[in-house]
Amino acid sequence: MGNVSHYTDIQRAQAAAQYAISGNQSRVSEVTGIPRPTIGYWVAKDASFQALVSDCQQQQSTAIKAGLAHMVERALTNMHDRLENGDEVWINAGKELGMVKERKAISFKDLAIGAAIGVDKLVIIRKTEQGGSDEGEDKIQRKLDRLLQLASVAELDSKPVVVDNSVDK
């Protein structure tokens, strides 16, 4: 038979969770009261403890991914609202009405930057899924880069800019 542990399954699980979070054996020892050499042994040689740590890390990763997915979903919902309805701004509507909240259209530059970032992310996702490059997406990216250049120039000149929005074939 192997060594009999002086620690309960709950204590070992708590130590594994702490180690999964911090990766610091001394910190785990401080928090759990389990001696540092014991933690070190478990980390280096105890397969069941290593499995507990791995499970905790997997659960952490899943929770983080879910949280990030939720944040992205909320951000995209808010971005869609702003694209459709504009940004909320407070304006002075006079003495009788005071400050009033209205919607103001998003600037061309902000729209161009948002579109460029979105296309960049789509290109990365598609390249990752396909394992390669797609010429059509590269052409779209070049058009968006040009659009961003025009947006910068347009802001400096404050003159209307005509943009060729046809995509090369």
The C-alpha atoms of residue 75 and residue 69 are separated, in whole angstroms, by: 10
> Which one of 89, 105, 121 terminates a domain?
105
**Residue 20's pLDDT is what?**
94
Write the DSSP assignment of 110-164 as a string of letters.
HHHHHHHHHHHHHHHHHHHHHTS--HHHHHHHHHHHHHHHHHHHHHHH-S-----
Domain end call among 64, 85, 105: 105
Residues 9, 27 within the same domain: yes
Number of domains in the chain: 2
Most confident of 38-52, 77-91, 102-116, 124-138: 38-52
One domain for residues 4 and 40: yes
pLDDT in tens, 132-168: 555 666 777 777 677 766 666 555 444 444 445 455 5
Domain with 146 in it: 107-169
| Amino acid at position 54, single letter | S
- Split at pLDDT 50, 70, 90, the class of 128 is confident
pTM of the full predicted structure? 0.53
Identify the pLDDT of residue 126: 82
Q: 65 and 100, same structural domain?
A: yes
Closest CA to 152 of 112, 106, 119: 112
Q: Are residues 134 and 81 located together in one domain of the fold?
A: no
Mean pLDDT (whole number) for 102-119: 86
| Most confident listed range (24-28, 90-94, 142-146) | 24-28
